[in-house]
Structures are given as C-alpha cells and as structure tokens.
Structure 1
Amino acid sequence: MTLPAEATGGLPLDGVRVLELSSYVATPLCGLTLAQLGADVIRVEPPGGAPDRTRLPMADGGTSYYWTGLNKGKRAIAVDLSTDQGREVVSDLATAADVVIANAPYSGAVTAQALRERNPALVHIRLSGTWTGAPSVDYLAQARAGFPQVTGPQGHAVPVNHVLPAWDVAAGLYLATGVLAALHGRRETGRGSGITLALEDVALATAGNLGVLSQAQFERVGRAADGNHVYGTYGRDFELADGHRIMLVVLTTRHWHCVLEVAGLGEAVAGLERALDIDLDDEQVRYAHREVISALLEPWFRRQDLEGLTAALDGRRILWSAYRTFDEAAEHLGENPLFAEVDQPGIGRHLAPGSPLVFDEQRRAPQRAPRVGEHTDDVLAEHRDEAHDTAQVQSRIRDSPDTNRRTA
C-alpha cells in the first residue's frame, strides 16, 4: 500500500526537525533520507538558491533534475549566511531544531559550538573532505582509495573513476545513520551530540572493510583492471546473438551447476577438471580459471537471443541480468511501487522514487522538491509562534504560587 504524499503519520522520525545547511550530494542525501523517514527537513539556502540548483542534468525549463531528486519532501528557506543577521536567523531556528546538517565550517553564530551552546540537546553533524579538515570531493576520494586503478578494461593503463559518486552516497547514508544513533542516545541521556565525518574516510574505511588495504599491508598486491570480471568468484558479461549484453554472476556451487546444466557443458567441464586436476566447484578455482571457463561459455551465449535466454534461465535462480540504458530502465519504473507520480515545478509530472525502506508493508509516496525560499515566511512565522508559546509557558511557571513558595 502506498500512502499519499501528504500523509505524515506512522513514520519513525515524525516530529523531528532538521536544519540542512548543505549542497551537492552527501549532505542533501542525508537530509532526504531523514525526510523520507518522517522528519521535517528545512533546507537553508542563500537568496537565489544554492549553487547545486543548476547542476546537470537540467530540464528544458532550467530546473535541475539532479537537485530536485535529492531534495524531495523538504522545505526551503532563503537566508544569507554571509551576514550577521542571516546567521542569527539560523541560530534562532536551531534553538527549536533537533538536528543540524552542515558541510562547511560556518562562522559566527552558526558554528557547531555556538549552536550547541544555545541548544545543548542539538545533534550537529558535519561532513568534511578529509580527517584534517582539508576539502575533498568524491572523485578525489576515489583517487586516493585505489579503486580507479582496478576499474576498466583489461590492459587499460589509465585509472578509471566510477561515474556513480559512490563515496558521496555512502557518506550521506553514514551521516543519516549517525543522526539516528545520536537521536537514540539523546532519548536515553537528554544530551545532544557533535558528529563529524570525512568523505575520504568513508572511501578508506570501505576499502579497509573489504580487506584490500589489509592485504596491501602484508603483500604487494599488484592488482590490475580486469574488465567486467567479478573479483574473487566467477562472473562477467557476455554478448548475445541479437547484440544485447548480459551480466552473469556465479556465487555458489548450485549456481555453477545450474549454469553448466542449462548450457549443456557438464561433460566438457568435467573433462577440463580431469585434464587440469582442478575442482571448479571451488569458487577461488573458478576465479583463477575464469578465462578458460569463459572460452566454454561464450559460444553458447552467442547463440542465444535475449528472449530465448530469458526462457532458458528463468525459474532456475541463476544470477543474471541484461544491461539497460537509463532510457530503458526508465521505461519500467511504473512496474515498481517504489515510484509514484510527482508534479515538480519546472519539470512537470513524472515518476519519482520514495524511500526504499518499507514500514509495515506501507510506502509513503514521494513529495516534490521546494522552490527557492518557498517556505521562508512559514518557517519563520512558526518559529515566532513557538517561541511565544514557550515564553508564555515559562512565564506561567515563574508566576505560579507553587513556584513562588518553593523560591521563598
């Protein structure tokens, strides 16, 4: 079941208010993730909009597909943080916020220290480039972590960066995880938190967690680009008779024998194992002999078209997929309940994703991204009303007879 866009109940972060002082990918993705979990995320931008509002790809009307995708379901206020007045506005708003997300070391009244002094329960989270505080971006983090040296076709001597900003994406999700952990801790202790995350550390931590940096400390790896082969097991791409390309991944012995059965290669592989005195049921052995295996499989795949291959492999739980372009992938969005229609100003009606997380079998439909400063008046008015209500409560407490007796 998909809940309508205006539905607000039933999500874990309902009632949590987030101020997002950010741009580009990682921190906006953190804010988007929190908004899709129910938080009221208020994007703070300079008058005229943040620089990432004009990033490609752009619609014909000049609205960024990229920006609207990362900022769905947020509110937007326009504040000039280069001025003392603008910084005071955000500082005042932060007194009633639960979380502040930043990706720059702001000065004056909006530093992490200043905001947390005014609101000790605040969760302040900031993304930096490196652990030293030096700037960095995804492509630089890629370069320093080592992955581009093993990406690309065999024999290619030039590093190949991935077009997916993987470390930005991972950093955004790390930041959201940090916020959730800090909110949980605050519920137990009443205290806020100051959290920092370096983009480069995300890349290095991942490389370390995957073992490649551990291995490099003990031996000279010398690993080179290997095309579309899956490192450590058997998997690669194949071209079909009709020009389509597919990706095949063999992880388990069951997968391996299913592939051999459907391709009619059981006897040929058994003969190969006897001739080389190897056991291809071992995935490391399959990886070591990937070129020989490919030489057996390639002729079979070249005799198949996509329709015939689909009929041959479906129902066997073999891991494979045809490659799609973005255009081809977009043709199938309506099949997936992750997507629902959004009417985005500057773009028009289109299918946009909600959160991939599904709570109690219910999805919340995506909401459109805000225009520059669209909610400035509303947010500031709400803050004035909340501050007035808080002042009245505090005044009643001070003036109550019980309080006066206790003071006396």
Structure 2
Amino acid sequence: MYDLLKGLRVVEGSAFVAGPTCGLYLAQLGAEVIRFDNIGGGPDFRRWPLSENGASLYWEGLNKAKKSVALDLSRPEGRELAARLAAAPGEAGGAFVTNFPVEGFLAYEKLAARRPDLVCVRVMGWADGRPAVDYTVNSAVGLPLITGHPDDPRPVNHVLAAWDLLTGAYAAFALVSALSARQRDGQGREVRIPLSDMAASTMANLGFLAESLAGADRPRMGNDLYGAFGRDFRLADGRRIMLVAITPRQWKGLQQVLGVESEVAALEAELGVSFAADEGLRFEHRGRLFPIFEAAFARKSLDELAPVFEAEGVCWGPYQPMSQAASDPRLFAGNPVFAEIAHPSGRTYPAPGFAATIPQDARGAPRAAPRLGEHTDEVLAEVLGLPGTEIARLHDAGLVAGPEGR
C-alpha cells in the first residue's frame, strides 16, 4: 500500500474481474475506493473459490482495501442513491469505475447532468455493447486455436483471465490520465474500454495480427517458445522445468551447465549457422537442438541444476503446484509485497499490497476487503451528507443495508 493517490475518492459499481481490479489497484495506491453492491451481494459475491463457510475468496481478493455500501438496486430509490454516489460533489470525487451498460440508470449522460466534470471509466464486453467475457473474447481472437500440443486439435482456453486483468490495469491508467486532463481543462470524460478492443489491440501490438495477414495462422507448438529457444524438459528425478534461452549469455550459460558445447558446435558446423548470433535460428532448428538438450537434462536432477543455473544466469522456472508455490520465497513466503492478514471469510492468509515497489516510500500493510455493506452508513453520511434520521429511514425501507444485512 502506498499513498500516491491519497485524497482521491473513486466510486466503483462493477462485478467480476476487470472493474474490481481497476478499483483494487487504485485503492492499493491510496485512493478511497467506495464500492456499491446489491443488498445480499452482486453476481460475483459468491463466486468460486469459496472458503469453508461459503465466503468467496475471489470476492475478498479483488476488493481489498475498499469500502462497501449495500443498496437495493432493484428499486428506483436504490438506483438513485447509486447514481448520487457516482456523481457525488466534492473536489476529491468525480471518479467512477463501472461495467454497468452504456445505457441505463448509470449512463454517462445522466451522471454528467449531475456532475459535468465526472470522469467515468466503463468496462465493456464488445464495443457495440453486446455482452462478452474474457473467455469468449479469447476464443474470438484465436488464441485457443494456437494453444496446446500439435497432436491434439481441441481448442485450449487459458485458465488465466488475461484480458480482464489487462483491461483492469488499463482502466486504472485511463482513469488517472483523464483526471490529470481534468485538472488542466476542467472537463469530464467517459472512457469506454471493451475487452474486445483490449484483446484485439494487444494481439496487434504483439505482431500476431500482422503475422496472420501475411498468409498463415500460427500453428500449435505445445510448450515451445515461439521465435526463440525454450521448452519444458524432464529431469532425471522426474521433475519438469521450463527453460528459456533468449540472450547470448543465457544460451552460453545453458550449454556450459549441461556440457553440450561440442554437440551444439558440431550441429552449427553441419548447418552453417551460429545459434549464439540469432535466437530465431535456435527456434528454426529446434527439432535438431531439443534432442541434445533432452538427453543432457535426463542425466541431471533439479538439486544439481538449480545452483549452477543461478550462478550462470540461466533463465528457468520449476513446474510446481500452487500449494508448493505458496512456500516459494520469491513469490509469496517472505515476499515484502505480502503480509498475513485476517479476511472477512474468517481465514488468515497472505495478501498482497501494491505489486510494484517504491524504494523511496514506506510500504504500508495491505488491508482486507470489507464486509458487504460495512461502510453504508459512513458513506451515506460523509459523501452524500444524509442526516441520521434519513439513513435510518432508508434502512427501515430496506433500501440500504449494513454488514450482514443489518
């Protein structure tokens, strides 16, 4: 946790991954992020994985460090409160993150009528407003058809919601950029970020689009690293590692550790190439190189290789389950980004603060997600200026709720 955005108030009305990720990153940089949900929870409030008591570990992971307001969004009065929160007055506010539809009670034009300088970042599925999620966009851009092993024609969806996560980070960047522009020109803006445009732009930026327009889609390659030397290898002890040699130093160190310099040199002489000079040649001739390295890896254990790999600057990583990764000091255990905290689910486990490190600033401890509706009364009083009698009336009418529905 850092305080770079201290003094900024962001209201979030969103569900699933991209919108909540945007709010999470802003909160981890010190913004006050107020999330509103339906009483009883929105569509992602019980999403798996679940704790032993049925609480969503997913929800509490994406909503750390935020405040929670519970409203009855099925009724006009509840939707009115949500709109008032999104466009609440005050120098610190006027920033809204949502994945609600372009049209409807949270349409930008309706909110801007309340606050003309409102900055709204809206996560969408398709740019024309049709619904989409990460997995359906991913299938449309073609990645599952080039993922997997070449002897299996079935499409393979990536289990990581990459487009959601990229869109969430992009939304945070776009919001801060629009707020910076507002300081100069005083104008409000709506920034629409469809998952489809995020995916299409990324595929073009990485050269996938230009490659396919040149005449052919990329084939399936299993775990082979496209355009360079890299693949999974099985060791003598049965472990598997992912090995990548992109730079000349990595390539040289790998050969030295495995003792295959003479075999690689013989192959270079036969083919009339220099693998050290061009990583693309290592990819092009991987069918001849891989057997050399497969045999060498089959003679070594991970305990033998790990220390010399590190000494020689070889780029590698072990294949390990998440349960084992949890004790890896490079990832979780001992990582200063993480701290052990208690969560609303009743469990205590490591939680990250902001993933980047700022050496010049003190890192604050991560904060847990709120209980649903935990800050309803506080926000209604402090942000909307409602008196206690009005807040009590809203509770009596079932329009708002505190924690656990109270």
- TM-score of the aligned structures, taking structure 1 as reference length: 0.89
Alpha-carbon distance change, 322 to 187 in structure 1, aligned in 2, over 3 angstroms? same
Correspondence for 1:33 among 16, 21, 25: 25
Correspondence for 2:55 among 47, 59, 63: 63
Give the distance between the partners of 2:149 and 2:61, measured in 1 at CA. 31
Give the distance between the partners of 1:141 and 1:110, measured in 2 at CA. 24
The residue number in structure 2 matching 1:327 is 323
Task: Write the letter of the residue equivalent to 1:88.
Answer: E
Residue 213 of structure 1 pairs with residue 209 of structure 2:
yes
Give the distance between the partners of 1:361 and 1:307, measured in 2 at CA. 38
The residue number in structure 1 matching 2:270 is 275
The residue number in structure 1 matching 2:257 is 262
Matched residue SS, 1:373:
coil
Matched residue SS, 1:125:
strand
Residue 225 of structure 1 pairs with residue 220 of structure 2:
yes
Task: Write the letter of the residue equivalent to 1:347.
Answer: G
Give the distance between the partners of 1:319 and 1:119, measured in 2 at CA. 52
Residue 95 of structure 1 pairs with residue 88 of structure 2:
yes
Q: Is the 8 A contact 1:63 1:346 kept in 2?
A: yes
Q: C-alpha displacement at 1:108, in angstroms?
A: 5.5
Matched residue SS, 2:383:
helix
Give the distance between the partners of 1:109 and 1:27, measured in 2 at CA. 18
Give the distance between the partners of 2:252 and 2:341, measured in 1 at CA. 45
Q: Is the 8 A contact 1:87 1:108 kept in 2?
A: no
* TM-superposition CA deviations, 1:180-235 (whole Å, max 9, x none): 10111111112221110111111111100011101222x22232111111101000
- Structure 2 residues without counterparts, runs of 5 or longer: 388-406
Give the distance between the partners of 2:38 and 2:350, measured in 1 at CA. 29
The residue number in structure 1 matching 2:376 is 376
The structure having more radius of gyration, on CA atoms, is 1
**Most deviating of 360-369 and 263-272:** 360-369
Q: C-alpha displacement at 1:112, in angstroms?
A: 1.2
Matched residue SS, 2:341:
strand
Deviating beyond 6 angstroms after TM superposition, the runs of 4 or more aligned structure 1 residues are none
The residue number in structure 1 matching 2:347 is 348
Task: Write the letter of the residue equivalent to 1:352.
Answer: A
Alpha-carbon distance change, 361 to 244 in structure 1, aligned in 2, over 3 angstroms? farther
Task: Write the letter of the residue equivalent to 1:235.
Answer: G
Give the distance between the partners of 1:297 and 1:214, measured in 2 at CA. 32
Q: Is the 8 A contact 1:25 1:172 kept in 2?
A: yes
Residue 339 of structure 1 pairs with residue 332 of structure 2:
no
Give the distance between the partners of 2:267 and 2:68, measured in 1 at CA. 64
Matched residue SS, 2:350:
strand
Task: Write the letter of the residue equivalent to 1:95.
Answer: A
Q: C-alpha displacement at 1:114, in angstroms?
A: 1.0
Residue 292 of structure 1 pairs with residue 288 of structure 2:
yes
Alpha-carbon distance change, 347 to 224 in structure 1, aligned in 2, over 3 angstroms? farther
Give the distance between the partners of 2:206 and 2:105, measured in 1 at CA. 41
* TM-superposition CA deviations, 1:215-261 (whole Å, max 9, x none): 222x2223211111110100011111111111111111221111111
Give the distance between the partners of 1:386 and 1:254, measured in 2 at CA. 65
What is the aligned-residue RMSD (CA, Å)? 1.7
Task: Write the letter of the residue equivalent to 1:69.
Answer: G
The residue number in structure 2 matching 1:394 is none
Q: C-alpha displacement at 1:345, in angstroms?
A: 2.2
Q: Is the 8 A contact 1:240 1:303 kept in 2?
A: yes
Q: Is the 8 A contact 2:212 2:218 kept in 1?
A: no
Q: Is the 8 A contact 2:101 2:129 kept in 1?
A: no
Give the distance between the partners of 1:284 and 1:220, measured in 2 at CA. 20
Q: C-alpha displacement at 1:361, in angstroms?
A: 4.5
Residue 17 of structure 1 pairs with residue 9 of structure 2:
yes
1:8-407 aligned within 5 A: 11-93=3-85, 94-96=87-89, 97-105=93-101, 109-217=105-213, 219-281=214-276, 282-332=278-328, 333-359=332-358, 360-385=360-385
Q: Is the 8 A contact 1:141 1:199 kept in 2?
A: yes
Tell me the number of residue pairs that the alignment of Structure 1 and Structure 2 aligns: 379
Q: C-alpha displacement at 1:386, in angstroms?
A: 8.7
Give the distance between the partners of 1:323 and 1:108, measured in 2 at CA. 47
Task: Write the letter of the residue equivalent to 1:160.
Answer: V
Give the distance between the partners of 2:217 and 2:383, measured in 1 at CA. 58
Task: Write the letter of the residue equivalent to 1:224.
Answer: P
- Structure 1 residues without counterparts, runs of 5 or longer: 4-9, 388-408
% identical equivalent positions: 41
Task: Write the letter of the residue equivalent to 1:354.
Answer: G
Matched residue SS, 2:311:
coil
Matched residue SS, 1:314:
helix
Matched residue SS, 1:78:
strand
Give the distance between the partners of 1:26 and 1:178, measured in 2 at CA. 13
